[in-house]
Structures are given as C-alpha cells and as structure tokens.
Amino acid sequence: MFFKNTLTLFAVAMMAIGTTGFAQDSITPLIGLVTGDDENCGKDAAKKAGCDPRDNSWLHPKLEAAKNSVKVGFGVRTSFRGNESEGVDSAGTFGGRVRDFQLDNARIFLSGNMGEKISAYLHTDINNAQGFGGDDGLGDGVRILDAAIDYQITDDVTVKMGRFLPPTDRSNLSGPFFINNYTFPWVQFTNGYYDVFQGRDDGVAFYGERGEDVQLKWSLALMEGYDNAPGDDNLWMVGRVVMNFLDREEGYFNSSTYYGEKDIAALGFTFSNQDDAHGAGLDYTAWSFDALLETTLDSGGVATIEAAYYDRDHDNAVGGGVNAGQQGEGYFILGSYLMADSISIGDIEGRLQPSIRFQSTDGDIRVGGNMDRSVDYSLNYIIHGHSARVSLVFQDINYVGGFDDQNLILGGQIRF
C-alpha cells in the first residue's frame, strides 16, 4: 500500500519535475545560456524523412559562444526516497517506514585554460552529498570536491596534480551524473577504493592514450591513500588501462552510457596498492575489471550492458571504521535499453530507458548491517542525455544479518 500510494502521488510529480545534476568533465561558458533549440531532427530522428538515425543533437542543447576563457557550471541532483524495512534495520529497530526529500548533490564548477597546454578546474559540493562524508559539524556546508591542474607536457602525456578522482574504475570516473543509474553502485565503495570524499584523493597522475584502430587509454597515479598508521608514510599507487575496440573515449574521464552518441566496446583493468596502509606489514591492495558494451540499433534504440568486478584486500586489518567488512569481492551487472521513440510529458520531450542492475558482495568477514546484494529496477526519462533526466528506481536490498530494505526513489538531475 505504501508504494502504491507513493507511486500514485509521484506520477504527477514526474510529469512536472524540472530535473537536476552536474559532472566533473562538462562545463558551460560563463556567459553561455541554454537556448533550448530543438530545430533539428530531434529525438525521433529514426522516423523522420531525411534524418540520420544516429543524429544525437538532441543530447546537447545549444549554448551561446564563450567570450571568456574562464568557465562556470553548476548542477543539482535531488530526490524523494521512500523506504520500508523488514526485520532488523541498520539502526537496530524492527521494520518501519521512512519518507524523505533529499538534496543529493549541489555542485559549482569552475575551470579555465592558460594557453593550450595548461588548464585547471575547481569543484565544490555540499558536505553530505549523497549521504557520504558525514556531517562533520558543517551541516549543508560546502566543501572542496576537486581542485586540480593539468599540464599537457607532450601530445601523448598529461600530468594532473591536486585533488581529483583517481583512475580506479569506470563508475568512479563517471561519477553520479554520468552513470547509467540514479544511484551509485554500492559494491564499488564496499569492495572498491580508498577516498577522501566522493571518490577523491590528493595526489598526481600521468595519463594519455595510444593506438588508431584500438584505443589504449592509460593512467598511473600516486595518491595520499591511508594515513592512519605510525612510522613510514607510504603512498597509494593506482594504475589503470582501458582498451576501446569501437569508438574512442577522449580525455581522463568517461561515461557509463553515451545514449547512442558512441558505439562502445571497452575493457578496463585497475590495480592499486599501498604498503603498510594499516600498520607494519598490513598492506592495502585492490583490483578490478570493468566492461561496457553499447550500440545503437537500426531502429534508433540504444542497448547497453555494463559489468564490473572488484577485489579488495586489507591483510585482514578489518577491525572498525571504513575497513569493517570491506575485505572481499563484489560485482555488478547492468542492462538498459534507450527507446527510439520519444514521448512528451506536457511541453517536455524525452525518451524512456528501462534498466535493471544486480549487485552482490562476498566479504571475508560478514558484518551485520552491511549490504549483501540488491536489485535495482529503473525507468529513466532522458530529456537531454546526462544534462537533464528524471529517474524512477525501485530497490530490493538484502543485508547481512537477515533483514531487507525496499526503496522507492524519484530523482532528477540537470547540469549546465
């Protein structure tokens, strides 16, 4: 009854919501304004005479030309969340219902270029974005998300310094705005990598790409990592390679779906290690595989399959804090289909994209209250790609200790 009433209530809201979001690698000129021009083949290109079925101009609303090298962007992700618990929940109570409106992200983005070889960017976000990072006494205060400088020292090698996303896996390098689901995969941070805040850490990275028919993207980073053991302070090393067999993915970042703008067949591998991360002889080691297959069909629809596998080892230093129950392995697999035909909700036009994602983890030490496995059923309304979309998600989550959660999420994002 709870979910029936909630779905009824928010069916209307979904028709009217002005969605919200932003990402680390997309910016808007300081004086640029979205002009909302749909004078092209539009979202139904495959059905219109004289239109290319692969016309993706609808993903990118027009922007006026920039007249300043300094650029600014912003984005918001916001959601309604309904929860029903069965058995003992993470707070130690029995069952119950929770209904919340939540501000997931509120980012400000600044970037600039100094000539063609030097650039920098600065991102901020709310302190408790996506429920991570804790309150720290700051409430909804703003904190530094990214602050990095890029030096392109040759055509093939660029150096990045500051606070940024280490080159760990596809999900981390996509971020919450460029993944193919409204919620970030929890197996990534349960069986994934160390971070300061939302996947970031301080350090330096070298990255580049080679190859013509097959693109080989590579990156190698030295980061702060864990710094909680007395004695020698060792750095965290992260290395990643990605092979793209179809279209190329330019730059340091990536997306987990391109909505048909690219055909992708990519395989990625990451290895990371920090000696004595938790004390003498207690090293931190993690590695992962990830794959993305995305193709545009003759109908104009876009089929996507994404998968990732993670393995994390703390040398059994899994006592408390961030390490509790995180040693082990986990994986997720996602399938989605972006429909070729658009539908209108009022004056807004977009395409529907149903998807399903399964996640599972197998910790070496089973800690009660940690997520065990989950299934996400999503229906996305794609208005302008990652720039504007609305998502309706139903989650069925099983926890270690024998209790379940069912979550209903209605979320939106927009970015400029």
pLDDT tens column, 279-309: 888 889 999 999 999 999 999 999 999 999 9
Ranking 144-148, 165-169, 193-197, 322-326 by mean pLDDT, the lowest is: 322-326
Residue 223 has pLDDT above 50, yes or no: yes
What span, in angstroms and rounded, lies between the C-alpha atoms of 156 and 216? 11
Residue 210's pLDDT band (boundaries 50, 70, 90)? very high
* CA-to-CA separations, 252 to 164, 286, 326, in angstroms, rounded: 11, 21, 27
What is the Cα Rg of the chain in Å?
A: 21
Give the burial class of 39: count Cβ atoms within 10 A of its Cβ; 0-12 exposed, 13-18 middle, 19 or more buried. exposed
pLDDT of residue 53: 76
Containing domain of residue 120, as a range?
2-415
More confident residue, 129 or 409: 409
pLDDT of residue 304: 98
Mean pLDDT of the chain: 83
Q: What's the half-sphere exposure (Cβ side, CA atoms, 13 Å) at 193?
A: 32
pLDDT of residue 320: 52
Residue 27 has pLDDT above 50, yes or no: no
CB-based contact 271:239 (threshold 8 Å):
yes
Residue 1 has pLDDT above 70, yes or no: no
Give the helix ranges, DSSP H, for 100-259: 170-178, 186-190
pLDDT of residue 98: 84
| CATH of residue 257 | 2.40.160.10
Mean pLDDT is highest, among 105-119, 133-147, 244-258, for: 244-258
Give 125-139 pLDDT, tens digit per residue: 998 787 655 545 556
This model's pTM is above 0.85 = no
Ranking 111-120, 200-209, 292-301, 303-312 by mean pLDDT, the lowest is: 111-120
Q: What is the mean pLDDT of residues 234-258?
A: 96
pLDDT of residue 62: 64
For residue 10, give the 3-state DSSP assignment: helix
Which one-letter amino acid corresponds to residue 223? Answer: M
Give the DSSP per-residue string, 304-346: EEEEEEEEEE-TT--SSGGGTT--EEEEEEEEEEE-SSEEEET
Percentage of the residues of the chain whose pLDDT score is greater than 90? 57
Q: Which two tokens stand for residue 151?
A: 């030096």
More confident residue, 279 or 270: 270
State the total domains in the chain. 1
pLDDT of residue 362: 87
Contacts of 189 (CB under 8 A, 6+ apart): 195, 199
Contacts of 409 (CB under 8 A, 6+ apart): 79, 80, 81, 82, 182, 183, 391, 392, 393, 394, 395
pLDDT of residue 33: 37
Ranking 8-17, 73-82, 261-270 by mean pLDDT, the lowest is: 8-17
Ranking 36-50, 290-304, 320-334, 360-374 by mean pLDDT, the lowest is: 36-50
More confident residue, 44 or 107: 107
Contacts of 181 (CB under 8 A, 6+ apart): 334, 355, 357, 376, 378, 391, 393
- What percent of the residues of the chain are helix, what percent strand, and what percent coil, each to the nearest 5? 10, 50, 40
CB-based contact 412:19 (threshold 8 Å):
yes
More confident residue, 313 or 149: 149
pLDDT of residue 25: 42
Ranking 57-61, 187-191, 195-199, 255-259 by mean pLDDT, the lowest is: 57-61
Give the burial class of 26: count Cβ atoms within 10 A of its Cβ; 0-12 exposed, 13-18 middle, 19 or more buried. buried
Residue 345 has pLDDT above 90, yes or no: yes
Strand-pair partners of 97: 84
Residue 228's pLDDT band (boundaries 50, 70, 90)? low
Furthest-apart CA atoms within the chain: distance in Å:
70
Phi and psi at 126, nearest 5°, equal -65, 155
Q: What is the mean pLDDT of residues 30-49?
A: 56
pLDDT of residue 137: 53
CB-based contact 163:144 (threshold 8 Å):
yes
CB-based contact 314:278 (threshold 8 Å):
yes
* CA-to-CA separations, 271 to 168, 194, 282, 285, 304, in angstroms, rounded: 8, 13, 17, 8, 25
